[in-house]
Amino acid sequence: MSINYGTKNSRTPWGFRRGARDVLEWAAARVDSAIDEMEFAAATDMTGQPFRLDLAEFSNELYEVLIDKTEGDAMARVKAGPKGNGLDAYRRVHRWYTMTTELGLTELRTRVMHPKPPKREEDTLLQLEAWEREHQKLIDIEGPSGELPENYKRTAVLQILSGRIKEYIEDRQDD
């Protein structure tokens, strides 16, 4: 089976314009500054060729898709800029999402490396189980790099333990 894309501005079978992915990757890399026409005209795709899309037309279509497909905080980011400027709206949403998810991962790492001790000694087991779940979540997200080294795990577990249990473990480590 072959797919005929037709002219350079035709749509792929999935509804995207050819070259749209390169433009979106370029826009996502421009995290901190708005996109203007001169900069877009000078930009190139991954093969070094100028983008083959009309900025105004593509940006307007992208804006309509983002308005249709986003909600909540993402939609607020889309609507924060000029109406019809979909490429810049995409850049804002991408930046927000990246920052949000990185912040979430940072907070998860912090909770795993510096767990809070239970308020009551009898809740120690529940707190240890919660820590194990968070550690496993970190491994699931980051792969093997999310696995804490053994000495870090011991340190984290000692932060959860309290009372006689902690004293017993610390005494055993000294031996």
pLDDT score recorded for residue 4: 32
3-class secondary-structure state, position 44: strand
Q: Is 43 exposed, middle or buried (0-12, 13-18, 19+ CB in 10 A)?
A: middle
pTM of the complete model: 0.55
Determine the Cα–Cα distance for residues 142 and 1; give it in Å rounded to an integer.
Answer: 38
Residue 131: name the closest of 88, 161, 151 by CA. Answer: 161
In percent, the amount of the chain with pLDDT more than 70 equals: 89
3-class secondary-structure state, position 11: strand
Q: What is the dihedral of CA 115, 117, 118, 124, to 10 degrees?
A: 90
Q: What is the pLDDT of residues 49-64, one digit of tens each?
A: 888 888 889 999 999 9
Spans of the chain, pLDDT less than 70: 1-16, 31-32, 174-175
Q: Which own/partner contact pairs does 29-35 have at CB distance under 8 Å and 24+ positions apart?
A: 30/91, 31/91, 31/94, 31/95, 31/98, 32/95, 34/81, 34/88, 34/91, 35/87, 35/88, 35/91
